[in-house]
Amino acid sequence: MPDWTRDGKLRAGWAFVVLALAFALAFGSVVLWLAHDQQRVVETAMRLQDQTMPEIVRHQRLSRNLEQLRQEGERVYAVATPQARQQALFVVTLVASHPSILDHPEARELARRVERFLSDAVRDAGSDDAKLMESYPEWQRLAARLGVLVDDVYIQGVNQAGGDLKDVLQAMEMARAKLFGAMLLVGIFLGVFLWLLHRHLIRPLQRIDRVLSRLHVDCPRPEFHNRQMAEIVSVERAIGELHDALRHNEAARQALENLANLDGLTGLTNRRCFLLQAEHELQRAQRYLRPIAVGMADLDYFKRLNDTYGHAAGDAVLRAFAVLVQESLRQTDLICRYGGEEFVFLFPESTVAEAEVLAERLRSRCADYDIRLPDERVVRVTVSIGLADAGQGSIESALKLADAALYTAKRQGRNRVVRADARPSGRPEHAEPDRQDIDQAE
Amino acid sequence: MAVSVTLRRCLLALALALPSPLLLAGDWHVALGMMDRGASQPGGLTAFNEDVAREICRRVRVHCVTVNLPFGEILEGLAEGRYAMGFGNFLRTGEREKRIAFSVPLWHSSSRLIARADVQRRLSDATLDSLQRLRVTAVPGSQQHAYWQSVAASRDLVVVPAGSMGEIIGMLRRGQADVALVPVLSAYALLAGEATGEFAFVGPPAADRGLGGGVHVGLPKGNESLRKTVDKALVEMRADGTLHRIVRRHFNFSLD
Q: What is the ipTM of this complex?
A: 0.72
* Run of H or E including A292: strand A292-299
pLDDT of residue B216: 93
What's the gap in Å between the CA of A13 and the closest CA on chain B? 47
Q: Which of 3.40.50.11750, 3.40.190.10, 2.40.110.10, 3.30.360.10 is the CATH number of B16-109+213-250? A: 3.40.190.10
Residues counted in chain B: 256
* pLDDT range class, residue B35, cuts 50, 70, 90: low
Q: Are residues A92 and A177 in the same domain?
A: yes
Say yes or no: B201 contacts chain A, CB-CB below 8 A.
yes
Q: Do B205 and A97 make contact, defined as CB atoms within 8 angstroms? A: yes
CB B109 within 8 A of CB B183: yes
Nearest Cβ partner for B196 among A86, A94, A99? A86
pLDDT higher than threshold 50 for residue B239: yes
Q: Do B108 and A112 make contact, defined as CB atoms within 8 angstroms? A: no
Nearest Cβ partner for A90 among B188, B212, B213? B188
Rounded CA gap, A179 and A185, in Å? 10
What's the gap in Å between the CA of A112 and the closest CA on chain B? 7
The CATH number covering residue A435 comes to: 3.30.70.270
What's the gap in Å between the CA of B174 and the closest CA on chain A? 22
Residues B22-32 have a mean pLDDT of 68
pLDDT of residue B11: 37
Query: In chain A, how many domains are there?
Result: 2
* Residue at a domain's end among A194, A224, A252: A194
User: What are the domain boundaries of chain B?
Assistant: 16-109+213-250, 111-206
* Run of H or E including A196: helix A136-197
pLDDT of residue A439: 56
At the top level of CATH, which class does the domain B111-206 belong to?
alpha beta
CB B218 within 8 A of CB B86: yes
**Residues 6 or more apart from B245 whose CB is under 8 A from it?**
none
Residues B201-219 have a mean pLDDT of 89
Q: Are residues A184 and A288 in the same domain?
A: no
* Residue at a domain's end among A178, A194, A210: A194
**A215 lies in some domain:** no
Separation in Å, CA A45 to CA A171, A173, A303, B163: 11, 15, 120, 49
Mean pLDDT in order along chain A per 10 residues (442 residues):
67 79 84 84 86 86 91 91 84 88 91 91 85 92 92 86 82 85 86 86 88 86 77 86 91 90 92 93 93 96 91 93 94 93 95 94 94 91 95 92 94 93 45 52 55
**Residues 6 or more apart from B20 whose CB is under 8 A from it?**
B60, B225, B228, B229, B232
pLDDT of residue B186: 82
Mutation for A interface: B216, B253, B255, B256, most A CBs within 10 A = B253
Question: What share of chain B in percent tops pLDDT 70?
Answer: 86
Q: Are residues A311 and A178 in the same domain?
A: no
Domain span including residue A116: 5-194
According to DSSP, the β-strands at B85-91 and B100-109 are unpaired
Nearest Cβ partner for B256 among A61, A85, A90? A61
What's the gap in Å between the CA of B139 and the closest CA on chain A? 20
**A224 lies in some domain:** no
Nearest Cβ partner for B253 among A83, A86, A94? A94
Neighboring chain A residues of B110 at a CB cutoff of 8 Å: 97-99, 102
**A95 lies in some domain:** yes
pTM confidence score: 0.55
Q: Do A93 and B201 make contact, defined as CB atoms within 8 angstroms? A: yes
CB A215 within 8 A of CB A64: no
Q: Are residues A15 and A113 in the same domain?
A: yes
* Residue at a domain's end among A134, A162, A194: A194
* Helix%, strand%, coil% for chain A, nearest 5: 70, 10, 20
